[in-house]
Chain A
């Protein structure tokens, strides 16, 4: 793991500590799909790690799938847009696409924060 997350891109609001909405024993298996190590995918990875470390520390497992190395894997999770984050469990399946520059939307997408309670903006 030689990538260092660039925290400045994670969005100031999301960095504020907040109550964990899920019990600590839940583990989120997350899978990040990218195509090659482009600036965009590196950015997405960095943003995502920042968000996860701040909101899901110790509760997630992040797997990165480079579709240029394993193109066949795109079919399983029905990947079209990249970068894409897929949360298989708990159901239903959640997909978030983008560079994850908006922490709020990532958390909504992961079902960690109800849309209406977003006090951020």
Chain B
């Protein structure tokens, strides 16, 4: 008879294996207060008051290419690198190798984390064609695999990307749903902080209604195109037990990964300085009570084309660099080289300051991305360069990237942010003749109407 290799099989008693016993939750009883597991994603922890709900599952949903997998991976990588919390990535869509190489371009050395047992990636292939169903079954195998991965590295964070792949692999949807329910309960019992991703569905958050199983926290990601400009947005749909912003927050995916911009309601409680900084022009300083601008203030230079706004801004930047204060120059109409050349003609060597790393010129056409993206990139540039002085030249060209209202709200947020950081800012604004201004305004109006029509 052909049965071999299962000597222990003869013992029929129901003995829980040692592995199984270790599965029981070891992270204490759930307290009344929800504790948070920081995601380490810039801005996200700020809008959620600390991160994802610890010991619970969070659903991250959105359409294809909106950044779900990246969000999930960053949650694990940051947990491992910054907090020493090991994580398991259960991948249904991409193999371990693909995942590692996809995020390598963002500077995440996932392979090293795997080698150091801070991260475990388990790729699960669901192939309907090679599975025959013959009677009752359950998904205990999935539980065993996940449990083993969690126990092997002592993981406290788990990502499942994306659970809905299971629906294509099995015929019995009722059974699958029962098993999913069991799985979410099981994850909670194990006390791990989980991120489950789900593909956006028609009229539903996810294609198979996963939101039905995840009751604690639901995050929706979105990549919207308006006027040919795409903006990524994040919204917290639900976060049980936590006050959270209900707005849509723009987020960025760039060479360093995911960052969310908490851009509203910074409040009006920024510090105020009485210190003066030179405007770069002695005569102007003299007019300003002999000292120049207040540090941390926002200054607007307004004038028609050709009246010397950029020159004044460059003088201000030059003065700042002379004080050995880092200066960030957002050029929205001219390239770096063009500004350097033009300013050299009036005796300002911006190039020298750039070589000394005191000045950084960030040049980008307003139409390259949407306003939110501009604000986001500006925030990021400020975070990276740590300037004490910022120049925006000119803000009027931002109107081409959004409606007047949007521009205003964006600028208010930018000023608030810079004030909070005690950064002195000078911006230029091209004054238009009444007719031009009127034309621009009506153009803007019709555009925003179009946009609204398309969105509804």
Interface set of A (CB-CB < 8 Å, partner B): 1-3, 33, 35-38, 40, 42, 44-45, 47, 49, 52-53, 56, 58-64, 66-69, 71-72, 74-75, 78-84, 92-102, 105-106, 108-109
State the Cβ distance, B218 to closest chain A Cβ, in Å: 25
Residues of A within 8 A of B136 (CB): 40, 98-99, 101
Interface string of B5-46 (1 = CB under 8 A from A): 110111111101101100000000000000000000000000
A80 near B130 with CB under 8 A, answer no
Residue among A44, A96, A97 with the highest chain B CB neighbour number at 10 A: A97
Additional A-B contact list (20), CB under 8 Å, known A71-B144, A99-B136, A105-B133: A35-B143, A36-B17, A37-B11, A61-B2, A63-B5, A67-B140, A68-B17, A68-B20, A69-B8, A71-B148, A74-B141, A82-B139, A84-B137, A93-B130, A95-B130, A96-B131, A97-B133, A102-B134, A105-B132, A106-B132
Residues of A within 8 A of B122 (CB): 75
* Contact among B3, B6, B141, B147 for A84, CB-based, below 8 A: B141
* Contact among A52, A62, A71, A83 for B145, CB-based, below 8 A: A71
State the Cβ distance, A104 to closest chain B Cβ, in Å: 8
A61 near B145 with CB under 8 A, answer no
Residues of B within 8 A of A102 (CB): 134-135
Given A2-B12, A78-B125, A79-B145, A35 contacting B6 (CB threshold 8 A): no
Interface set of B (CB-CB < 8 Å, partner A): 1-6, 8-14, 16-17, 19-20, 122, 124-127, 130-145, 147-148, 166, 169-170
Residues of B within 8 A of A101 (CB): 134-136
A108 near B141 with CB under 8 A, answer no
Q: How many A-B residue pairs have CB under 8 A?
A: 149
CA A95 – CA B126 in complex, angstroms? Answer: 12
A74 near B148 with CB under 8 A, answer yes
State the Cβ distance, A53 to closest chain B Cβ, in Å: 8
Residue on A nearest B127 in the bound complex, by CB: A78
State the Cβ distance, B188 to closest chain A Cβ, in Å: 20
Given A80-B126, A93-B130, A95-B131, A64 contacting B141 (CB threshold 8 A): no
CA A36 – CA B166 in complex, angstroms? Answer: 23
A62 near B10 with CB under 8 A, answer no
Residues of B within 8 A of A80 (CB): 124, 126, 139, 141-142, 145, 166, 169
B126 near A64 with CB under 8 A, answer no
Residue on B nearest A2 in the bound complex, by CB: B10
CA A67 – CA B143 in complex, angstroms? Answer: 10
A97 near B134 with CB under 8 A, answer yes
Residues of B within 8 A of A92 (CB): 130
A99 near B137 with CB under 8 A, answer yes
